[in-house]
Structure 1
Amino acid sequence: MSYRYGPWHDGPDPLAPPVDLRAALEALGRDVMEGASPRAALQELLRRGAGDQAGLDDLTRRLWERRSRIQRRHRLDGTLTEVKRLLEQALAAERTELFPDPADDARFREAQLDALPSGTAAAVRELANYDWRSPAAREAYEQIREKLGKDLVESRFQGMKQALREMQPQDTERIREMMADLNALLLAHLRGEDTDERFDQFMRDHGEFFPENPRTVQELVDALAARAAAAQRMMNSMSAQQRQELGELMAGAFGDPRFADQVATLDANLRALRPDEDWTSSARFRGQDPLGLGEGAQAMADLAELDALAEQLGQSYPGARLEDIDLEALNRQLGDEAGVDARRLSELERELRRQGLLDRAPDGSLTLSPKAMRRLGEAALAEVVGSARASRGERDTANAGASGELTGSTRAWTFGATEPWDVARTVRNAVLRTLSVGEGSVRLDVTDVEVSETEQRARAAVALCVDTSWSMVQDGRWVPMKRTALALHHLVSTRFRADELQLITFGRHAATVDIAELTALEGTWEQGTNLHHALLLAGRHLRRNPDAHPVVLIVTDGEPTAHLDPDGEAVFHYPTTEDTLRRTLAEVDSLARLGASVTVFMLGEDPKLAAFVDLLAKRGGGRVVAPDLDGLGSAVVSDYLRTRRR
């Protein structure tokens, strides 16, 4: 095989690492379990980023830092400062030339120079017809006119900066003709005339002044209006005195008042064509680096672009999407790395949707898909198993059960698996893979192999009762409780499929929920720990599965403070009453008669809770486990496995 290598010009970066959906999904799941909606969790993920991936907040921070740097470092009087310097240079050279001359004409000229107005603009205007004796003075004065002309043109035409640097004196008339033709074109467009042919002719005649290469009149107007509005905002940001002086100076641009008239006409046409541009705002500059008219207009354009990017990154407007971000503008302002970060965030969002990890409900809201729930459960179980190995020396087993009997189910082979191959499914996988890639002969690949699952024939009916009272949220036990339920649910649904798991939540009331409901459950301010109701529902679940070994697991951080009356009303009282304790223990006795193994996972160190759970364990023939929050999941899963083995 031979390979050819060439430069990479555009498209996805072939060397970019793949999008890390695991970290993203884990972050999504964590926020959802803490009570955020999937949509809000996705927005938070994009703002915060995932793993080493920078988020929208980081990009926005860098935008504001750049904006602040522009305003802190610069001031807008660069043109005025330079004109004043050139004027002083011209006057000094002229006085040096006149001083040795004893003639009356020399004294008269000195008197003229001494009588010049104090203002820079007025002095420049007064000297328009002065016959300079010094060649150096005449050159400095001509530089003023050239400087004013170039700055005036550059402030309105962003792409002409390089052309103006190389401009010759004879080019001045060509620029004036271009501006006259441009104003005629814009005026015709403003009147609603068909200007397509006129635009094409204009670009043929003057296209070298527009390296942006606009393709239509609309594109031309958009580019010119944005630049003209930036120049106007720069003028708005100056003091009244600076604006007045600059306006007077511009009348002498290139020594031809027609330039200033053409620019004024251009601004009026563009303002009429694009009234929605920002022509009125201003910004405060407080630095020491002076900017000329062209540089100042570019600074104002940069500020406007930074503001627009900040709005795009904020994603706070209706219908906002990451595809709205102007990557070219982001590259200009923050560099190519920022564009890569924004593109990867967009890919992350797109991949989450493409791989089916987010579903859209009938009401338009986002939900975590069953596939996402499986991924979250898988991650939670892996974390629990890792914790159990580290703390107890136990190891994960390749067999789903103890006796190794075939269940009829299969799974993909993983390194270290010792179960027998399912030959039929392995060959089928190889055939399908070969056909999909168009190969001629069937070859087995390690990815084709499936092994037969085994499990113990005995079934278990498991009721996991989790406390959802406000104290679980308040004391930081909410997410560990949900991750524990996720891990146990994933273990049962993938390794012990014959078992029946029922998830039961209990606060003021108890309720049976599926894993998606529990994951998205929000903490609410509701007093009451109604373990009595939860045990009633657990007993109902065990009675529906009389042929299964009954297992009840309880996660709680408080003694029961509520019970269910025969009429279905929840009765709450704190501190707990004898009636609540009596009814709760009666349900424990009922579960014991069913042969249930009751294990209580006690969170916290409340002495009253400890006394109650000890009593409950003695009455139910179970035991009490007091794990820390990090060990809750491994404790629950380990107890479930211990009960099954027993």
Structure 2
Amino acid sequence: MRGHRFSKFVPAEQGANSKFDQLFNIFQQLLLMTSGDVSEAMAWLSELDRQYKLTNDSYGVGDFFDDLKKKGYITEEKGDEGKLIMTPKSEKSIRKSALDEIFGKLKRSKSGGNHHTPHMGSGDELSSDIRQFQFGDTLDQISMTESIKNAQVNHGIGDFMLMENDLEVVEREQKTTTATVVMIDISHSMILYGEDRITPAKKVALALAELIRTKYPKDSLDIIVFGNDAWQIQIKDLPYLEVGPYHTNTVAGLELAMDILRRKKTRNKQIFMITDGKPTCLKEGIKYYKNSFGLDRKIISKTLTLAAQCRRLDIPVTTFMIATDPYLKQFVQNFTQVNNGRAYYSNLQGLGGFVLEDFQRNRRKNVK
């Protein structure tokens, strides 16, 4: 009878240093730059491999492509053409990658996704503060140890008696939710002058979406893009977002953002606007009023009016300006002063850090 036959076991590469993971990190960046075009991203990856020798004799780009399909990151679209498309698994992986890259070492919270505040109220977690029982307090808040001790002190230990005045309860930490709208400029200037500004903007929005989904799942996040007009997109659409031949209708974006936030019941509301240029467009009826040659008084006046409306609604607007022109900075300063919001003049590398800092700061505001 033939026994077991053993051969040398060569384990596959695992972890962040495996060839697949190395190529996949690059591939995800390329997917964002190509607006989710899998075929174009693979072509770019092949070109990078030719120039920089990313693969070796044992693992090539073809092996990587096969692994992408086996692991469920890409698939063929149903139809005659059989176009390669990303799967939901790939979209989720891109969000997580953006979160890790931009927001660093943030970890998932065990608190269920609420924001801590300095106020006491009806939250999920008990604090260390104890107070007298009040009408409306729930039974699970009662501190039995303190209450029984009060009963013994007040009535003696002979005949046990527990009265309402003996009861003490443990305070709960109040938590709140935040409604956030991110406005992304998709005007043509976002890819002018040989600089890709739309990819970092998409990456920041993806990271913020993943942060809210994992750490603050009770918050809401809505994404708006604005060019000649403004419209809402889903988070899953972000990797596929492209710049168009548009002007910058900031007014339309703010109006849509305000409409969305008016429907939110939470007290904390905020708008993040990522742009690189000045407002250059208004819609009047069915016609567009455009002026790309400077700060048009008519357009600026309407934009500042909306900034004031946001302030009256207690909605701060944080502007992330990817430009350094002095006259544009002056416009943003005026806009920020009217809204009582914030403004950052960021390069593309520092954009994510600014967004995170302001998100963490704003979510503690306006709790009354």
Q: Distance in 2 between matches of 1:534 and 1:382?
A: 29
Distance 1:500 1:359 in 2: 30
Corresponding residue to 1:17 among 13, 24, 28: 13
Question: Structure 1: 5+ residue runs without aligned partners?
Answer: 56-336, 390-394, 408-454
CA contact (8 A) 2:114 2:176 kept: no
Unaligned 5+ runs, structure 2: 118-122, 126-172
Write the letter of the residue equivalent to 2:184.
V
Q: Secondary structure at the match of 1:503?
A: strand
Q: 1:369 aligns with which of 65, 68, 87?
A: 87
| Equivalent residue runs for 1:434-453 within 5 Å | none
Shift of 1:621: 1.3
Match of 2:214 in 1: 494
How do residues 496-511 of structure 1 correspond to structure 2 at under 5 angstroms?
A: 496-511=216-231
Q: Distance in 2 between matches of 1:515 and 1:456?
A: 29
- Any idea what SS the aligned residue of 2:13 has? coil
Count matched residues.
299
In structure 2, distance between residues paired with 1:456 and 1:346: 54
Matched residue, 1:462: 180
Helix, strand or coil: the match of 1:558?
A: coil
In the alignment, is the contact (CA less than 8 A) between 1:26 and 1:376 conserved in 2? no
Pair 1:583 & 2:299 matched: no
- Distance, in Å, in 2 between the alignment partners of 1:476 and 1:507 is 17
Alignment correspondent of 1:472: 190
CA distance in 2, matches of 1:593, 1:6: 76
- What is the rounded CA distance, in whole Å, between the counterparts of 1:569 and 1:360 in structure 2? 41
Question: What's the counterpart of residue 305 of structure 1?
Answer: none
The answer to whether the 8 Å contact 1:597/1:620 transfers is yes
What is the CA distance between 1:374 and its match in structure 2? Answer: 1.8
Q: Over residues 585-623 of structure 1, what are the superposed CA-to-partner deviations in whole Å (9 max), with x where a residue is unaligned?
A: 222222222211111111111112111111111111101
Which residue matches 1:350? 66
Instruction: Please state if 1:642 is matched with 2:358.
Output: no
Cα shift readout 1:304-352 (whole Å, capped 9, x = no counterpart): xxxxxxxxxxxxxxxxxxxxxxxxxxxxxxxxx63x234xx34322221
Structure 1 residues 239-638: aligned runs within 5 Å: 338=57, 340-342=58-60, 345-363=61-79, 364-386=82-104, 398-399=109-110, 400-403=113-116, 457-474=175-192, 475-524=195-244, 526-565=245-284, 567-574=285-292, 575-638=294-357
| Deviation, structure 1 residue 49 | 4.0
Given that residues 468 and 505 in structure 1 are in contact (C-alpha distance below 8 angstroms), is that contact kept between their aligned partners in structure 2?
A: yes
Q: Which residue identity does 2:10 align to in structure 1?
A: P
SS at match of 2:351: helix
| Residues in 2 aligned to 1:402 and 1:533: alpha-carbon distance in whole angstroms | 30
User: C-alpha deviations, 1:541-562, integer Å up to 9, x for none?
Assistant: 1012133411100111111011
Does the C-alpha gap of structure 1 residues 627 and 397 become closer, same or farther in structure 2, counting only changes over 3 Å? farther
Question: Secondary structure in 1 aligned to 2:350?
Answer: helix
- CA–CA distance in structure 1, aligned partners of residues 265 and 286 of structure 2: 26
Matching residue's letter, 2:13: P
1:89-108 pair list within 5 angstroms = none
Partner in structure 1 of residue 147 of structure 2: none
Q: How far apart, in 2, do the equivalents of 1:606 and 1:639 lie? A: 23
Equivalent residue letter for 1:48: L
TM-score normalised to structure 2 length: 0.72
What residue number does 1:136 align with?
none
- Residue 207 of structure 1: aligned partner: none
SS in 1 for 2:59: helix
With over 3 angstroms needed to count, the CA separation of the structure-2 counterparts of 1:25 and 1:537, relative to structure 1, is: farther
Larger gyration radius, structure 1 or structure 2: 1
Following superposition, the deviation at residue 478 of structure 1 comes to 2.0
> 2:11 & 2:177 partners in 1: Cα distance?
50
- In the TM superposition, what whole-angstrom CA distance separates every residue of 1:480-509 from its partner, at most 9, and x where no partner exists? 111111111111122111111111111222
- 1 or 2, which has the higher helix percentage? 1
Q: Are the aligned partners of 2:102 and 2:352 in contact in 1 as well (CA < 8 Å)?
A: yes
Flag the structure with more relative contact order, 1 or 2, with Cα contacts below 8 A and sequence separation at least 6.
2
* Distance 1:486-1:44 versus aligned 2 partners, 3 A rule: same
How far, CA to CA, are the matches of 2:278 and 2:88 in structure 1? 34
Helix, strand or coil: the match of 1:464? strand
CA distance in 2, matches of 1:591, 1:495: 27
In structure 2, C-alpha distance between the alignment counterparts of 1:586 and 1:32, rounded to whole Å: 39
**Greater displacement, 541-550 / 40-49:** 40-49
Contact conserved, 1:508 with 1:572, CA < 8 A, in 2? no
- 1:431-461 deviation per Cα after TM superposition (whole angstroms, max 9, x unaligned): xxxxxxxxxxxxxxxxxxxxxxxx9741211
- Stretch moving more, 604-613 or 40-49: 40-49
Percentage identity across aligned positions? 26
**C-alpha displacement of 1:369:** 2.0
- Partners of 2:347 and 2:99 in 1: how far apart? 17
Q: Deviations over 1:86-125 (max 9, x none)?
A: xxxxxxxxxxxxxxxxxxxxxxxxxxxxxxxxxxxxxxxx
TM-score by length of 1: 0.43
Q: Secondary structure at the match of 2:179?
A: strand
Maintained 8 Å contact 1:559/1:608 = no
Distance in structure 2 (CA, Å) of the matches to 1:501 and 1:606: 30
Q: Structure 2 vs 1, CA of residues 499 and 456 (structure 1 numbering), >3 Å: closer, same or farther? A: farther
Distance 1:460 1:359, change over 3 A: farther
SS at match of 1:528: coil
SS of alignment partner, residue 630 of structure 1: coil
CA contact (8 A) 2:114 2:217 kept: no
Amino acid at match of 2:231: A
Shift in Å at residue 39 of structure 1?
Answer: 2.1
Task: Verify the 8 A CA contact 2:224 2:257 in the aligned structure 1.
Answer: yes
Q: 2: distance between equivalents of 1:352 and 1:605?
A: 41
CA distance in 2, matches of 1:368, 1:592: 41
| Letter paired with 2:92 | R
Say which SS state the counterpart of residue 508 (structure 1) adopts: coil
Partner Cα separation in structure 1 for residue 200 and residue 320 of structure 2: 12
**CA distance, structure 1, for counterparts of residue 345 and residue 179 of structure 2:** 23
- Please provide the CA RMSD for this pair: 3.0
